[in-house]
Amino acid sequence: MFEFRSVSDLNSYAGGLLESHEVLGSVSVSGELTGLSINRQSGHMYFSLKDSRAQVSCVMFSSYAGRLNFRPEDGIKVKITGSCGLYAPYGKFQIKVTTMQREGTGDLMEQYMLLYSRLAEEGLFDADHKKPIPVLPRRIGVITSPTGAVIHDIINTLNRRNPHYDILLYPVNVQGEKCPGDVISGIEYFSKSRSVDVIIIARGGGSLEELFGFNDEELARKVYACDIPIISAVGHEINNTLCDAAADLRVPTPTAAAELVIAAYEDLVNDIANRRILLNMAVKNLLSVHKRRLDNLKNHKALYSPMFYVQKQRNLLDSLEERMLFSGNRLVDREKNRLINDLTALRTGFDSMIRSKQNELRIYIDRLDSLSPLNVLKRGYSCITRNDTVITSVKDLDIGQEIKVSMADGTVDVTVDRINMNSEEDI
Amino acid sequence: MADKKFIYEEAVAELESIVNSLNNGNVSLDDSIKLYSRGVELASLCNDKISEVEKKISMIDRDTLEEIPFEDKGE
């Protein structure tokens, strides 16, 4: 038996053996790349290669890694060459990789991609199926491990942002074979008990294998079918699980889930306060609109002078009356004028008739006058009578007879002295 | 589950629509007073709801499906 002075000596010896071994000193092997991390400062790559039963740690120093013509990532299948050795500080068997070639996608990744596209085609990840997350959940269901950072981060975040919360934790294994069944039973429990308004499914980041429970097909279907809105916070930004894709909201971290599951208390209070201010402003504006309308009405003549309308109507009446009278007067005037005309015509006719009758009468009178014997006597003629008989011939007289001579202004009694007969020629 | 009588989101949406209606100006004085009263009522209900929930953390006992208090032990 060889006695080593120290663990360092032992590891150093074993490492040397491996490196100088004719087979292990220079190997080539294919496997799925997993657990990749790159040291930002040094640029060295650390990862494991695995198949379904085993895995081996690998390191690829930056001088070799810098020569890669593709971006290595978890899940891809690669073929590497290098030398086996022992990482002394941890006594860890590892391969120092010098070259790496891509060999198509890894099995797990391939499975995931196939399932993803099949479920996507079915509509499990459709945006229009996603339910809104309530603003103010009364109770929050959380499906995660009861130990570890995740539930702690969620509680811390809630304490900081909004202490008015009520959490119901459904404890599950977030890794390993039991994981999908556990999470499914959690979703079923909350769906059945209706005890929460929203569910958070959360897990910290991990490798594709560690998260693989959340790529379970049945789990994805349960998440999709759940009536209660689900926020999925499985893994970190770079990982996207089927659980994330089927959830109503996917967030990168459990902290982000806690931030989105309930609004910050202050924000809620401010929101309602602002809405009250808006409400008051709106009603004030509306009242001032009504007030303006009222003022306009109050300033209207009809209101500050109630007789305005009466006066207006009266004026209207007056003008109507005037117009009626005017037209009435015109009617009466016309009639009157016609009457006057008629009367005038009548009078004129009557007058002229009287005048003509008077003239006629005067003519008759004149004629009568001219026939009166008195008038003849006035002109110097005399009338001789005897015994009241008018003597018109000398033959009717005898000498000595007494006769009466009538003149215009009196009579004379005379006696006939001589009779002188006119000759025939004189008559 | 939230009780059916009062759903916060619906209350906020109603409050918002009340503010919109009032801003619209085509509301009678009577209606505006009714709307305003309803708005004030909703705002105060919302305010009550925001603080209503008491901080509580429970866990399901997977064997009994009973709710038991949960103590956060940190990381």
DSSP line for A96-161? EEEEEEEEEE-HHHHHHHHHHHHHHHHTTT-GGGPPPPPSS-SSEEEEE-SSSHHHHHHHHHHHHH
pLDDT in tens, A333-363: 777 788 788 778 777 777 887 888 888 888 8
Query: Is B63 in CB contact (< 8 Å) with chain A?
Result: no
Per-residue pLDDT, A176? 82
Average per-residue pLDDT in chain B?
Answer: 84
CB-based contact B58:A168 (threshold 8 Å): yes
Closest CA–CA distance from residue A152 to any residue of chain B (Å): 5
Q: What is the Cα–Cα distance from B6 to A427, expressed in whole angstroms?
A: 162
Return the structure tokens found at A4: 């080593």
Closest listed residue to residue A155, CA positions, set A170, A140, A137: A140
Q: What is the Cα–Cα distance from A74 to A208, expressed in whole angstroms?
A: 7
CB spacing of A164 vs B55 below 8 angstroms: yes
Per-residue pLDDT, B5? 65
Per-residue pLDDT, B1? 40
Q: What is the Cα–Cα distance from A306 to A310, expressed in whole angstroms?
A: 8
- In the 8-state DSSP scheme, what is residue A52? S
Chain A residues with beta carbon closer than 8 angstroms to that of B67: 168
> Between the CA of residue A47 and those of A50, A211, A425, A427, what are the distances in Å?
10, 17, 203, 199
Residue A332: how many CA atoms within 13 Å on its side-chain side? 6
CB spacing of A168 vs B50 below 8 angstroms: no
CB spacing of A286 vs B8 below 8 angstroms: no
Question: Which residues does residue A80 pair with via DSSP β-bridges, in sequence order?
Answer: A29, A100
Q: What is the Cα–Cα distance from A169 to A175, expressed in whole angstroms?
A: 17
Closest CA–CA distance from residue A56 to any residue of chain B (Å): 29
> Between the CA of residue A81 and those of A16, A27, A31, A181, what are the distances in Å?
18, 6, 12, 40
Give the pLDDT band of residue B2 (cuts 50, 70, 90): very low
Chain A residues with beta carbon closer than 8 angstroms to that of B55: 159, 163-166
Chain B residues with beta carbon closer than 8 angstroms to that of A282: 18-19, 22-23
Return the structure tokens found at A368: 């009568």
CB spacing of B1 vs A163 below 8 angstroms: no
CB spacing of A134 vs B9 below 8 angstroms: yes
CB spacing of A152 vs B67 below 8 angstroms: no
Rg (CA), chain A: 75
- pLDDT of B16 higher than 70: yes
CB spacing of B8 vs A167 below 8 angstroms: no
CB spacing of B53 vs A165 below 8 angstroms: yes
Query: Each residue's pLDDT tens digit in chain A (427 positions)?
Result: 889 999 999 999 999 999 999 999 999 999 999 999 999 889 899 999 999 899 999 999 999 988 887 778 888 889 999 999 999 999 999 999 999 988 865 567 777 888 888 999 999 999 999 999 988 898 999 999 998 889 999 999 999 999 899 999 999 999 888 899 999 999 999 999 999 999 999 998 777 778 888 989 999 999 999 999 999 999 666 557 899 999 999 998 999 999 999 888 889 999 999 999 998 888 888 888 878 887 887 777 666 666 777 777 788 888 887 877 777 777 777 777 887 887 787 777 778 878 888 888 888 777 777 667 777 777 778 888 888 888 888 888 888 888 998 888 888 999 998 888 887 655 5
Give the pLDDT band of residue B3 (cuts 50, 70, 90): very low
Chain A residues with beta carbon closer than 8 angstroms to that of B75: 148-149, 152
Query: Is B55 in CB contact (< 8 Å) with chain A?
Result: yes
> Between the CA of residue A93 and those of A24, A79, A82, B57, what are the distances in Å?
11, 18, 13, 45
Chain A residues with beta carbon closer than 8 angstroms to that of B12: 135, 271, 275
- CA B28-B31-B34 angle, to 5 degrees, is 150
Return the structure tokens found at A315: 């004026």
CB spacing of B46 vs A151 below 8 angstroms: no
Q: Scanning every residue of chain A, which has its alpha carbon at the shortest distance from the alpha carbon of B23?
A: A282
Chain B residues with beta carbon closer than 8 angstroms to that of A290: 29, 32
Sheet holding A402-407, edge to edge: A389-390, A383-386, A402-407, A410-415
Q: What is the Cα–Cα distance from B33 to A53, expressed in whole angstroms?
A: 75
pLDDT in tens, B24-45: 877 787 888 888 899 999 999 9
Count residue pairs from A and B with Cβ separation < 8 A: 123
Per-residue pLDDT, A179? 92
Element (H, E) at A170: strand A166-171
Closest listed residue to residue A276, CA positions, set B6, B62, B16: B16
Return the structure tokens found at A366: 């004149």
Chain B residues with beta carbon closer than 8 angstroms to that of A134: 2, 8-9
Q: Scanning every residue of chain B, which has its alpha carbon at the shortest distance from the alpha carbon of A142?
A: B59
Closest listed residue to residue A211, CA positions, set A192, A225, A232: A232
Choose from B10, B35, B37, B60 for mutation: most chain A CBs within 10 A. B60
Per-residue pLDDT, B73? 67
Q: What is the Cα–Cα distance from B32 to B38, expressed in whole angstroms?
A: 10
